[in-house]
Copies of this chain bind each other. A is one copy, B any other.
Amino acid sequence: MRGVVLHAPGDVRVEDRPDPVINEPTDAVIRVSAACVCGSDLWPYRGIEKLDGPTPMGHEYVGVVEEVGSQVTTVKPGQFVVGSFWASDNTCEICRSGYQSACVHRVLMGTIGTQAQLTRIPLADGTLVATPGMPDQDLIPSLLAASDVLGTGWFGAVAAQAGPGRTVAVVGDGAVGLCAVLAAKQLGAERIIAMSRHASRQRLALEFGATDIVTERGDEGVAAIKELTGGLGAHSVVEAVGTQESMTQAVRSTRPGGHMGFVGVSHDVALPGDELFFSLVHLHGGPAPVRQYLPELIDLICDREIDPGKVFDLTLPLDQAAEGYRAMDERRAVKALLQP
């Protein structure tokens, strides 16, 4: 089969790789219908995260089950499935509390690689959720979004306690930030402020439910949020970048007693204890337990209530994956969908 391998920073190749097989009786193998490039794939692509030799890439996926191990009971060959970037058993105490991304048996899909024609899914019963029947082709981008960026933005909005009567600010206008806007809208937030300086992303944010756009960043961005919230700060802030600047901006944009959900993968960030202490902000975030939200998100997508697939503004055949990475790196594309 063909699959994406990152050989060195900037060196994305699509290569022949061995077809995956069932290793464990709890595995499934799926034929990937669509995969994509994640903002977090850009960290090793840019050389900021160290590579340990040639690495199969990708952790987002939807597809059709080809084969299942002997212990798999909840999905079967021929079903269309969506899974999260963490494989999880969905039965351990941590999973049952809603934190499948910290499952005691979790496996990171990024170590297997889903930017490929076929991929192996560990813990298939716990990880995969089948759609009701075979979805229409035009729903595939949205279902793919549920696999990571929508689930992650959703978690950010939940962690920030977006909901009725609350003003939500979203720091970051990548696919996750845009999906957090969509999630905040679905969760009933009264006012949603998207922080973005890119016209096309602003448009999508407004389409997803943003009521206000703030173009300032850093201290000026904080001042703009305060200005819009009677000097107090937002009730809920979603951070979807992962840098020192964006985390600081998010903490300072949240009112005392408010909630900040941070879902940008943290890189070289140190939060000063005294600032956190005196902020009186609730802080929660991390790798999103997307599996928790998948059944609900699949329903919303199949009922055509939400259309998060709009975050894909570039669609390429798998063999042109390198161009997908380049376009996202250069911010020419929000998110690239790859068709195997």
Q: Which residues of A contact B (CB under 8 A)?
A: 93-94, 97-99, 101-102, 104, 230-232, 242, 244, 247, 255-257, 262, 265-274, 276-287, 289
> Which residues in B have their C-beta under 8 angstroms from that of A268?
273
Contact A270 B267 (CB under 8 A): no
Q: List 6 A-B contacts (CB under 8 A).
A: A94-B232, A99-B256, A266-B272, A269-B273, A270-B272, A281-B284
Q: A94-B256, A102-B280 are in contact. Are A266 and B270 (CB under 8 A)?
A: no
> Which residues in B have their C-beta under 8 angstroms from that of A102?
256-257, 280
How far is B93's CA from A285's CA once the two chains are assembled, in angstroms? 26
How far is B276's CA from A273's CA once the two chains are assembled, in angstroms? 12
How far is B247's CA from A287's CA once the two chains are assembled, in angstroms? 21
Contact B282 A278 (CB under 8 A): no
Interface of A is mostly: mixed
Contact A101 B280 (CB under 8 A): yes
> Which residues in B have their C-beta under 8 angstroms from that of A276?
266, 271, 283, 285-286
How far is B247's CA from A274's CA once the two chains are assembled, in angstroms? 12
Contact of A98 among B257, B285, B287 (CB under 8 A): B257
Q: A94-B256, A255-B94 are in contact. Are A286 and B277 (CB under 8 A)?
A: yes
Contact of A266 among B244, B262, B274, B289 (CB under 8 A): B274
Q: A102-B257, A230-B93 are in contact. Are A279 and B286 (CB under 8 A)?
A: yes
> Which residues in B have their C-beta under 8 angstroms from that of A257?
94, 97-99, 102, 289
- Minimum CB–CB distance from A118 to chain B (whole Å) comes to 29
- Minimum CB–CB distance from A257 to chain B (whole Å) comes to 4
Q: Identify 20 new A-B residue pairs, CB closer than 8 A, beyond the known A101-B256, A270-B273.
A: A94-B232, A94-B255, A94-B257, A97-B257, A98-B257, A99-B280, A102-B257, A102-B280, A256-B286, A257-B289, A266-B272, A266-B276, A270-B270, A271-B271, A271-B273, A276-B285, A276-B286, A277-B286, A282-B284, A283-B283
**Most B-side CB within 10 Å, residue of A101, A242, A280:** A280
